[in-house]
Structure 1
Amino acid sequence: MQHSMISLTLAAVSLRDLALVQAVHRHGSFNSAARAMHISPSGLSHQVQKVEQALGTPLFERGGRKIVPTAGGKRLLLQIDAVLGAAELLQQTARSGAVAFGGELRLGVPASLGPYLLPHLIGPFPQHFPGARLSLSEGKPRGLLRRLHEGELDAVLAPPMQAASGIAVRPLFFEPWDLMLRADHALAGRRHVALEQLDAGDATLMAENHADGMPGDG
């Protein structure tokens, strides 16, 4: 295991100190950076000098109308940006690890199924996934699957269909269906009827726009 070779002076530099240095670079002015970071100009100058002393080199050229990095400061500022970016990523990773789904589950639900399924999801969701937020999107199954494939949604509840490549399908439950026939129909007396036993003319199938209550044409 490689041991850290960071000096004691550099170890005393905080992320806040580095953020102050970054602010001076971004604003090109100690006064503007101090206002943005809610610190006095003298306090900001002191913290920047602390970082410069820890690094052993000046970061900014002072005296001009605008504060600009030194030649060595330009290279060090890139590393400071990288350190702050890594710290932010570390914080985001820690938060996403503590909360399910990274804090939010973007779920697509067909409009026709929403009234039946959502009551079973919305209530228990906070209990099973504390801290996570459930964002719902309604639409037609094919449109929802397209958004899932493009990364706009995390998951979709949909009737069985052929999914695009890269989409994993998991069955959740099986729902019984009732077949409604005329009393004098040849199959009316049977307890179980296979789909293959129905003639095409016997069935009225619902198209994808069945959310509007419109039967399909075929």
Structure 2
Amino acid sequence: MIDTPDPAPSPSPGDLDALARRVGRVIHAHRTSQGLSLGALARAAGLSTTIVSRIEGGAGNPSMETLWRISHALGLPLGTLLAPEGEPVVRRIAARTGEAMQADSGMTGWLVHAKSDAHRAELYDIEMPEGVDQTSVAHLPGAEEVVFCVMGRVLAGPVGQEQELGPGDAVWFAADVPHRYVALAPSRTLSWVIYPPPAITP
């Protein structure tokens, strides 16, 4: 039997404010480095300019779906927006102390680790109450995903090709198409998203 971590304490308002400000700084830096206006980024992400402006300003608590939209519009892995600044060479990551993201479906994900160099990858710890049915938009072109079921029973994979997983089972799939996670029982999974190296511009 696999022990699951005790529920992590809810982040304090100060923690959430610090996260919102950091995410806003990262989005602003990447938007301006790409020469995009607020309006252009908002259109590419399918959001209003007001929402994007508030997020860049460190206001509000954007949902997982909103951050996915912005990261995809910027051509970045989601973890780039959430990774801690100035990461050390080695660090212990206590259970569920990464950035928690809440999806509208009821799924909660914690960023465990993200790499933003040539070997771009993200690892998430995901909790899904029974009945969660989450469809995620396509990741960046060439992205792959491995979902490992820690406990419970889930369906995971590209829409129409979902595979049923029990504890210890895993599924690999091309993640640059819409994909789905369905909790057939209270479940916990680990999701490893692997991105192709960034394009090299002359």
TM-score surpassing 0.5?
Answer: no
Scaled by the length of structure 2, the TM-score of the pair is: 0.25
Structure with larger Rg = 1
Larger helix proportion of the pair: 1
Bigger relative contact order, structure 1 or 2, given CA contacts below 8 A and separation 6+? 2
Larger strand proportion of the pair: 2
